[in-house]
């Protein structure tokens, strides 16, 4: 179970709603993934508009909790205002906080992010900040009151997977009790499985599903990979070794593997 701000969710996968070939394919992808939450950008899908109203109806019918986001915001005031509008329109105090500081990489502006998070948390929001893997920036967000973080694996839409595995594993190691959801940069189900094997609590996907050749099938594949990666983490994988160690018993030595044996068979 994924637990965020005291709320438990049966899935560890969150799914975005942008760039699908059609609303029907998006609906099928959501059904295939069975995500914990569905993210939606107010600046792209205003439920008060005609096109946004159709999406809003579909999301309500799905019966899955919504996670509005502040995608496209470039300033603290813009992000705060967008979050407040989303709360009124979507009837939720959950917000995925995005504040972009660089157009080419879509890298989060961590300085403004901390400031906006502090304001929104004081206003009663459950803030999930999209951030980098920088440990100091993440600690500042926690100091501001965030109870979960969403570090990137790679820049949005690249599909590269975890480009800085060392920093991500360090983040996981130094913040063992904080829910960490990998957001952005995953392109393959194996990428999701990998970060889940490292002990991350969940993944958030959009482009990897919506821009694939078969979004419905890919959504299911990511759901399976996310679950498999978590199961592997909880099972405690065997430690890697540079030495071989046979697993098949030697004739006449049925319990050879219980000895302190380090040579080859």
Indicate which residues carry an active-site annotation. Answer: 96
Contacts of 170 (CB under 8 A, 6+ apart): 135
Q: Is 187 annotated as a binding residue?
A: no
User: Is 8 annotated to bind ligand?
Assistant: no
Which strand ranges, in their side-by-side order, compose the sheet holding 66-69? 150-151, 126-131, 94-97, 66-69, 37-41, 13-16, 202-205, 181-183
Backbone angles phi, psi at 133, to 5 degrees: -90, 10
DSSP 257: G
For residues 137 and 133, what is the distance between their CA atoms, to the nearest angstrom?
Answer: 8
E strand or H helix at 96? strand 94-97
User: What is the secondary structure of 159-218 as a DSSP string?
Assistant: ----S-HHHHHHHHHH-TTS-BEEES---SHHHHHHHHHTT--EEEESHHHHTSS-HHHH
Using DSSP's 3-state secondary structure scheme, residue 30 falls into: helix
Phi and psi for 182 in degrees, rounded to 5?
-75, 125
6 is in an annotated binding site: no
Question: What is d(CA 202, CA 128) in angstroms, rounded to the nearest whole number?
Answer: 12
Helix (H) or strand (E) holding 131: strand 126-131
Question: Is 184 assigned to a binding site?
Answer: yes
Of 147, 103, 93, the closest CA to residue 124 belongs to 93
Contact indicator for 206, 16 with CB cutoff of 8 Å: yes
Query: Is 53 one of the annotated binding-site residues?
Result: no
Residues placed in the known binding site for 1-deoxy-D-xylulose 5-phosphate: 157, 184-185, 206-207
Known binding-site positions: 157, 184-185, 206-207
């Amino acid at each position: 179970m994924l637990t965020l701000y005291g709320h438990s969710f049966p899935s560890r996968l969150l799914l975005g709603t942008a760039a699908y070939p059609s609303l029907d394919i998006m609906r099928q992808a959501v059904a295939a993934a069975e995500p914990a939450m569905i993210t939606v950008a107010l600046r792209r899908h205003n439920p008060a508009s005609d096109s946004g109203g159709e999406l809003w109806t579909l999301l309500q019918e799905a019966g899955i909790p919504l996670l509005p986001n502040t995608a496209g915001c470039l300033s603290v005031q813009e992000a705060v205002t967008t979050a407040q509008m989303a709360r009124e329109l979507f009837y939720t105090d959950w917000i995925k906080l995005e504040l972009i500081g660089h157009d080419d990489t879509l890298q989060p502006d961590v300085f403004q992010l901390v400031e906006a998070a502090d304001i929104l948390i004081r206003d009663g929001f459950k803030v999930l900040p999209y951030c980098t893997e920088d440990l100091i920036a993440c600690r500042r967000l926690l100091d501001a009151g965030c109870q979960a973080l969403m570090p990137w694996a790679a820049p949005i839409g690249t599909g590269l997977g975890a480009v800085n595995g060392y920093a991500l594993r360090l983040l996981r190691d130094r913040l063992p009790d904080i829910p960490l959801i990998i957001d952005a940069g995953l392109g393959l189900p194996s990428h999701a499985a990998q970060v889940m094997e490292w002990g991350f609590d969940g993944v958030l996907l959009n482009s990897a599903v919506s821009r694939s050749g078969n979004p419905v099938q890919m959504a299911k594949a990511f759901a399976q990979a996310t679950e498999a990666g978590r199961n592997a983490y909880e099972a405690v994988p065997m430690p890697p070794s540079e030495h071989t160690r046979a697993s098949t018993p030697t004739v006449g030595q049925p319990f050879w593997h219980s000895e302190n044996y380090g040579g080859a068979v």
